[in-house]
Chains A and B, each alone.
Chain A
Amino acid sequence: MQKVTREALIEKAASLLANGTVTSVLAWKKGEFDYDITPALFTGEEEMHAELVWNDFCGANLSKYLVAKTKKAEGKILVFLKSCDTYSFNQLLTEHRFDREKVYAVGIPCCGMADIDKVKAISGDGIASIECAEKIKVSTIYSEGAAEMDLNDVLLERCESCKSKKHVAYDELMGEEGEILDSHRFDEVERLEAMTPDERFAFWQEELSKCIRCNACRNVCPACTCEVCVFNNPASGVESKAPVNDFEEKMFHIIRAFHVAGRCTDCGECSRVCPQNIPLHLLNRKFIKDMNECYGEYQAGETVGQRAPLVDYTLDDLEAGEVFERGGDNA
């Protein structure tokens, strides 16, 4: 269960709406099912009481929505940010993607979010309703009673290896501030690195072959906010290109990982939204790990205006040859 209640969020939002600080509120509401909670913009208190949701399924990172919403909104938007979302928030500000003056950011503590697949593994398919209290209670159309589970047993992978409970940006913080955590987020990358090139190729071949090119990963990614994505750009030569072989299709993910390298905050949204459950975040984490090792520890979005190592130069930078040697036959 989350530490701050839904009612507290509504109360906070309502008071800021009432005193004119903000004119709209970016939060979450229920989608088709109880578990597909989606971002939503509210302008009135009643609306919030009716629809606003804050529970263990509010994984969606609201930062990216500010890019489009601030362009349209008159006045300020209140946005609720979990600690991991604040990194994306800063990164977007670094890239001048929205006007900070048009946003009122409220940091909210997060106890991690639930992975619906893990939930389903316990409850079974056909979920009829979910209730988030001390325990998550899930009833399905096939079962009589509700299955109960602990949030901690069904956490999203990204929450299991949460990098920070600390909010790096906000105008106001609700609840207690957390700390930067010593996460084990690179363990899985290390496992992949230990593989032989053939094993690793087979791993990614297997994973990426599941891709249906729904573009959900790109559309949700807070680093992918280009006005025109290269994959939609007629001049790029890759727009609407039929894949020549099964691997060319996978280049989409590799190109995307290159495009967000140094800008990815490791928020994990790509893997959360993938309908095929491809562990896309591992590609980005490999980049982050390599950059940390080559150019020193760097966390995208930690502050506004920081220079990412790939677009910066210092005398201590690794020589190109050294980078090459890290690759080679054993890579």
Chain B
Amino acid sequence: MQRIGVFVCWCGSNIAGTVDVKQVAKALENEPGVVYSTDYQYMCSQAGQDMIVNAVKEHRLTGIVVCSCSPRMHEQTFRKTAAKAGLNPYMVEIANIREQCSWVHKDMIVGTEKAIILGKAAVAKVNLNAPLTPGESPVTKRALVIGGGIAGIQTALDIADAGFEVDIVEKKPTIGGKMAQLDKTFPTLDCAACILTPKMVDVAQHEKIRVFSFSEVSEVSGFVGNFEVTIKKKARYVKEDICTGCGACVDKCPVKKVPNEFNLGMDNRKAIYIPFAQAVPKVATIDPNACNMLKAGKCGVCSKVCTAGAIDYTQKDELVTEKYGAIVVATGFEPISMEKFDEYAYSQSKDVITSLEFERLTNAAGPTQGKLLRPSDLKHPEKIVFVQCVGSRCASCAEKGKEYCSKICCMYTAKHAMLTRDKYPDTDVTVFYIDVRTPGKNFDEFYRRATEDYGVKYIKGMVGKIVPEGDKLHVQGSDLIANEQVHIDADLVVLAAAIEPDKSARPLATMLTASMDTNDFFTEAHPKLRPVESPTAGVFLSGACQGPKDIPETVSQAGAAAAKVIGLLAKDKLLGNPCVASSDENMCNGCSSCANVCPYGAITYEDKEFRMPDRTIQVRRIAKVNPAVCQGCGCCTVTCPSGAMDLRGFTNSQIMAEVDAICK
């Protein structure tokens, strides 16, 4: 039999205002197992906690019920208090008489009655509580960062600087991501390459960092502290450790007309290529779909000119398996396809481009060496129209766009407009917008400079249609402030395309059992208080894979994710949550229902020998829960047909006892 102490909190007037706390304490005094019951103004205060510690000693309590706020607020506090008093922390139950009672009731009589019932349920549960001890598991002191953009780079550097090994897996031949494709960065207008490439070099030179470029994650198993990941290194037909990146092969390669992905297809590259000058690793890659040698067995020029002997036409995809303690997802974003936006004539005219294409057009390493020339005839455009929110905030057109705000477009459009006017003052620049959103340090000042100092024309309203007419683009829009139709014959139109998570994110989420929202952005464990952790233990989120972000925000989130990883890897052992499922092997049918519904992959099966009453041996298939992976959600317990599966700390009998107490 338990000896239970009940502590009813006033929470100032938060609870005491609508619940007669004295009456609650008195009513619970007579519940089975209760030997002491009292009330106090602030149970969570030091004095309140001391009161609990003293009562445990004085009345030899074995269980504690605190009638107070939500367990999310102070369950941990009172568990620590119990531990201080020498009790097992899991002998504490919270009856939530604030959020679920005093705050939702106005009438003192009703509120008090309900508080008593909630208290009785908690007492009934504590009567069945058993001490729980968290399990331990070791931690592999190495982190995996998936994605080598600025988010992945920053996270990897921060983790490595703390002394832990980090592997970066990047699906492209080089790290750098989207930031490497940008020209200038708002609001300070630093050149993107100038601030990014030193970091890329740091990654390449860091002794704690390994880069798996041109590689993908193909399998993930294990759990927090003990992940086992299979990485597929795609064949690049060049020996990465031998290639010096001299570029002789690229110079001599006869296949010249392969669309260059790095410049978004606006110029061509060779069949063997290095994406850009500062690529890391600076290693050539052969495109098997373009290379004559790989397609037809004829050519072999690159092999002949390579003095290092790095070319290997027989290279195959290679699988590498490695253990990690933590995984950071930094898969980033990509602009949405403009195919469904026919009204903007993107597929009809070469002079309708996306903002990312505009970045390449203005970049010194881009297809025009940084001169702003329009793609169709390489003439200088005199009238440029920027269209914002193309596919963003598109509630009514969800089948082609996105409901959310892509967040970065207002700022980069202001940047594009401003830079254009700065470099080519003769150019007429118009921006169509729904709203201009510039929250952020020095952001609004930046936007105002574009309009006030650089004379960019901002028109509130959307563009309805763009029609190519001769060498002009006829832009029809509306000006909502002047309440009139606007017609502009532009030379170049730039569409601020919405951004969406990278396509690789969804299959990755499945492998990681990490949850995603309906837009395929990774879900954080708590939108405010745990923004860089995935609900799956040991999986962290960095950058735009979690939601649209600009560079400053991405870098700070990347650092935050790194801090969380370092905190995890610094531990030698992990204490698990003891409130996990466990299966009674004598009752388990081995039916797999629990494993089918487990969102974390925590349940496996094994064949076990049982000695039967008639002394025969019977082999039965039984479920095993891995307590380090189990998050205690309880799906398995409600699915189990035989009741073999039970959740520690929330056992079926405890829950039934609570329900009985409420229904009595």
Residues of A at under 8 Å CB distance from B? 71-72, 94-97, 225-230, 233, 235-237, 259-260, 263, 307, 311-312
- Would you call A226 and B597 a contact (CB within 8 A)? no
- Would you call A227 and B592 a contact (CB within 8 A)? no
Chain A residues near B616 (CB-CB < 8 A) = 72
Chain B residues near A307 (CB-CB < 8 A) = 596
- Give Cα A227–Cα B585 distance, bound, in whole angstroms: 10
Chain B residues near A227 (CB-CB < 8 A) = 586-589, 620, 642, 644
- Give Cα A227–Cα B610 distance, bound, in whole angstroms: 12
- Report which of A95, A225, A230 forms a contact with B643, defined as CB distance below 8 A: A230
- Give Cα A110–Cα B145 distance, bound, in whole angstroms: 61
Interface range for B = 20 to 34
Chain A residues near B653 (CB-CB < 8 A) = 235, 237
- Report which of A72, A225, A233, A260 forms a contact with B587, defined as CB distance below 8 A: A233
- Give Cα A259–Cα B638 distance, bound, in whole angstroms: 10
- Give Cα A307–Cα B596 distance, bound, in whole angstroms: 8
Interface residues of B in 577-605 (CB under 8 A from A): 586-593, 596-597, 605
- Would you call B590 and A228 a contact (CB within 8 A)? no
Chain A residue at minimum C-beta to C-beta distance from B612: A71
- Give Cα A290–Cα B620 distance, bound, in whole angstroms: 34
In the A-B complex, list the 3 residue pairs whose CB atoms are closest, starting with the nearest.
A95-B591, A226-B642, A228-B587
- Would you call A226 and B589 a contact (CB within 8 A)? yes
- Asked if B348 lies at the interface with its beta carbon under 8 angstroms from chain A, I say no
Chain A residues near B621 (CB-CB < 8 A) = 96
- Give Cα A226–Cα B645 distance, bound, in whole angstroms: 13
Chain B residue at minimum C-beta to C-beta distance from A68: B618
Chain B residues near A235 (CB-CB < 8 A) = 643, 652-653
- 22 pairs from A and B in contact (CB 8 Å cutoff): A71-B618, A72-B616, A95-B592, A95-B593, A96-B589, A96-B590, A226-B587, A226-B589, A227-B586, A227-B587, A227-B642, A227-B644, A228-B642, A228-B644, A229-B642, A233-B642, A235-B643, A235-B653, A236-B652, A237-B653, A259-B641, A311-B639
- Would you call A237 and B656 a contact (CB within 8 A)? yes
- Would you call A97 and B656 a contact (CB within 8 A)? no
- Give Cα A97–Cα B656 distance, bound, in whole angstroms: 29
Chain A residue at minimum C-beta to C-beta distance from B619: A71
Chain B residues near A226 (CB-CB < 8 A) = 587, 589, 641-642
Chain B residues near A230 (CB-CB < 8 A) = 642-643
Beyond A227-B620, A237-B656, A307-B596, whether A95 also contacts B642 by CB under 8 A is no
Contacts A95-B593, A96-B621, A307-B596 known; 15 new A-B pairs at CB < 8 A: A95-B589, A96-B591, A96-B592, A96-B605, A97-B589, A97-B590, A225-B589, A226-B642, A227-B587, A227-B588, A227-B644, A228-B586, A229-B642, A230-B642, A235-B652
Q: Mark B419-457, 1 if CB is under 8 A from A, else 0.
A: 000000000000000000000000000000000000000
Chain B residues near A260 (CB-CB < 8 A) = 641
- Give Cα A39–Cα B506 distance, bound, in whole angstroms: 51
- Give Cα A17–Cα B586 distance, bound, in whole angstroms: 35
Chain A residues near B596 (CB-CB < 8 A) = 307, 311-312
- Give Cα A233–Cα B584 distance, bound, in whole angstroms: 11
Q: Closest approach, in angstroms, between the C-beta of B661 and any C-beta of chain A?
A: 13
Chain B residues near A263 (CB-CB < 8 A) = 641
- Give Cα A72–Cα B642 distance, bound, in whole angstroms: 22
In the complex, which of the residues B588, B593, B641 has the most CB atoms of chain A within 10 Å of its own CB atom? Answer: B641
Q: Closest approach, in angstroms, between the C-beta of A101 and any C-beta of chain B?
A: 13
**How many residue pairs bridge A and B at CB < 8 Å?**
56
Chain A residues near B641 (CB-CB < 8 A) = 226, 259-260, 263
- Would you call A311 and B589 a contact (CB within 8 A)? no
Chain A residues near B642 (CB-CB < 8 A) = 226-230, 233
In the complex, which of the residues B587, B620, B653 has the most CB atoms of chain A within 10 Å of its own CB atom? Answer: B587
- Report which of A96, A229, A311 forms a contact with B597, defined as CB distance below 8 A: A311
Chain A residues near B619 (CB-CB < 8 A) = 71
Beyond A227-B586, A227-B587, A227-B620, whether A233 also contacts B643 by CB under 8 A is yes
Chain B residues near A225 (CB-CB < 8 A) = 589
- Give Cα A95–Cα B586 distance, bound, in whole angstroms: 17
Beyond A228-B586, A307-B596, whether A97 also contacts B639 by CB under 8 A is no
Chain B residues near A236 (CB-CB < 8 A) = 643, 652
Q: Closest approach, in angstroms, between the C-beta of B662 and any C-beta of chain A?
A: 16
Q: Closest approach, in angstroms, between the C-beta of A300 and any C-beta of chain B?
A: 13
- Give Cα A307–Cα B639 distance, bound, in whole angstroms: 13
- Give Cα A243–Cα B316 distance, bound, in whole angstroms: 70
Q: Closest approach, in angstroms, between the C-beta of A324 and any C-beta of chain B?
A: 18
- Give Cα A228–Cα B641 distance, bound, in whole angstroms: 10
Q: Mark B195-209, 1 if CB is under 8 A from A, else 0.
A: 000000000000000
Q: Closest approach, in angstroms, between the C-beta of B434 and any C-beta of chain A?
A: 29
- Give Cα A312–Cα B597 distance, bound, in whole angstroms: 7
- Would you call A97 and B591 a contact (CB within 8 A)? yes
Chain A residue at minimum C-beta to C-beta distance from B588: A227
- Give Cα A227–Cα B612 distance, bound, in whole angstroms: 12
Chain B residues near A229 (CB-CB < 8 A) = 642
Interface residues of B in 163-215 (CB under 8 A from A): none
Chain A residues near B588 (CB-CB < 8 A) = 227
Chain A residue at minimum C-beta to C-beta distance from B610: A227
Chain A residues near B639 (CB-CB < 8 A) = 311
Chain A residue at minimum C-beta to C-beta distance from B518: A315
- Give Cα A307–Cα B619 distance, bound, in whole angstroms: 25
- Give Cα A154–Cα B524 distance, bound, in whole angstroms: 63
Chain A residues near B591 (CB-CB < 8 A) = 95-97
Q: Mark B626-662, 1 if CB is under 8 A from A, else 0.
A: 0000000000000101111000000011001000000
Chain B residue at minimum C-beta to C-beta distance from A236: B643
Q: Closest approach, in angstroms, between the C-beta of A48 and any C-beta of chain B?
A: 26
- Give Cα A242–Cα B540 distance, bound, in whole angstroms: 53
Chain A residue at minimum C-beta to C-beta distance from B638: A311
In the complex, which of the residues A226, A227, A259, A263 has the most CB atoms of chain B within 10 Å of its own CB atom? Answer: A227
Chain A residues near B597 (CB-CB < 8 A) = 311
Q: Closest approach, in angstroms, between the C-beta of B184 and any C-beta of chain A?
A: 42
Chain B residues near A311 (CB-CB < 8 A) = 593, 596-597, 639
- Give Cα A229–Cα B621 distance, bound, in whole angstroms: 17
Q: Closest approach, in angstroms, between the C-beta of A301 and any C-beta of chain B?
A: 14
Q: Closest approach, in angstroms, between the C-beta of A223 and any C-beta of chain B?
A: 8
- Give Cα A72–Cα B641 distance, bound, in whole angstroms: 24
Q: Closest approach, in angstroms, between the C-beta of A226 and any C-beta of chain B?
A: 4
Chain B residue at minimum C-beta to C-beta distance from A259: B641
- Give Cα A236–Cα B589 distance, bound, in whole angstroms: 16
Chain A residues near B643 (CB-CB < 8 A) = 230, 233, 235-236
- Give Cα A151–Cα B656 distance, bound, in whole angstroms: 49
Chain A residue at minimum C-beta to C-beta distance from B597: A311
- Give Cα A8–Cα B642 distance, bound, in whole angstroms: 40
Q: Closest approach, in angstroms, between the C-beta of B459 and any C-beta of chain A?
A: 39
- Give Cα A97–Cα B590 distance, bound, in whole angstroms: 7
Chain B residues near A71 (CB-CB < 8 A) = 618-619
Q: Closest approach, in angstroms, between the C-beta of A244 and any C-beta of chain B?
A: 12
Q: Closest approach, in angstroms, between the C-beta of A217 and any C-beta of chain B?
A: 16
- Give Cα A263–Cα B639 distance, bound, in whole angstroms: 12
- Give Cα A303–Cα B610 distance, bound, in whole angstroms: 30
- Give Cα A229–Cα B644 distance, bound, in whole angstroms: 10
- Give Cα A230–Cα B621 distance, bound, in whole angstroms: 19
Chain B residues near A96 (CB-CB < 8 A) = 589-592, 605, 621
- Give Cα A11–Cα B286 distance, bound, in whole angstroms: 68
Q: Closest approach, in angstroms, between the C-beta of A260 and any C-beta of chain B?
A: 8
Chain B residue at minimum C-beta to C-beta distance from A229: B642
Chain A residue at minimum C-beta to C-beta distance from B591: A95
Chain A residues near B618 (CB-CB < 8 A) = 71
Q: Closest approach, in angstroms, between the C-beta of A72 and any C-beta of chain B?
A: 8
- Give Cα A132–Cα B230 distance, bound, in whole angstroms: 65
